Amino acid sequence: MTTWITTCDTCKREGWEAGAMEQTDGEVFAALIEAAAADAPDVKTRRVSCLMGCKGACNVAVQGAGKLNYTLGAFEPDAEAAAGIVAYAQAHAESETGRVPFREWPPAIKGHFVTRLPPLPTDE
């Protein structure tokens, strides 16, 4: 089953305005995640403008239909973090419930979880 990585492309880490950057930290991070996920089976990516986690930029959501869904944040927008997010998303996709045992978490994502949301009910 497909797991989606949704990346906030408007995230700006503290001090962003002082730099001479042409892209937001979120845009840089989204591109790194997209590249890391290019060949990942059952993982798709998308960008949104604002996940409302501004104090902990850079933010992503890991989501799958009928599964636990997660928000993660406070990342450095680098290749190591992007690879960790994609590896976690692959494990999420392989999990029936979306729960991935802690021992299987990539080190790059540990300490970055913000929320865990239950799946939406399938009945009214």
How far apart CA 28 and CA 10 sit, in angstroms, is 10
- pLDDT for position 109: 98
AA identity, residue 105: W
AA identity, residue 87: A
Whether the Cβ atoms of residue 38 and residue 30 lie closer than 8 Å to each other: no
What are the residue ranges in the chain where pLDDT is below 70? 16-20
Tokens describing residue 98: 């979306």
- pLDDT for position 78: 96
Burial of 38 (0-12, 13-18, 19+ CB in 10 A): exposed
Architecture of domain 3-117: 3-Layer(aba) Sandwich (3.40)
Model-level pTM?
0.93
Tokens describing residue 35: 């590249």
Q: Which residues pair with 63 in a beta bridge?
A: 4
Question: Shortest CA distance to 34 belongs to which of 7, 61, 15?
Answer: 7
- pLDDT for position 57: 87
How far apart CA 62 and CA 89 sit, in angstroms, is 6
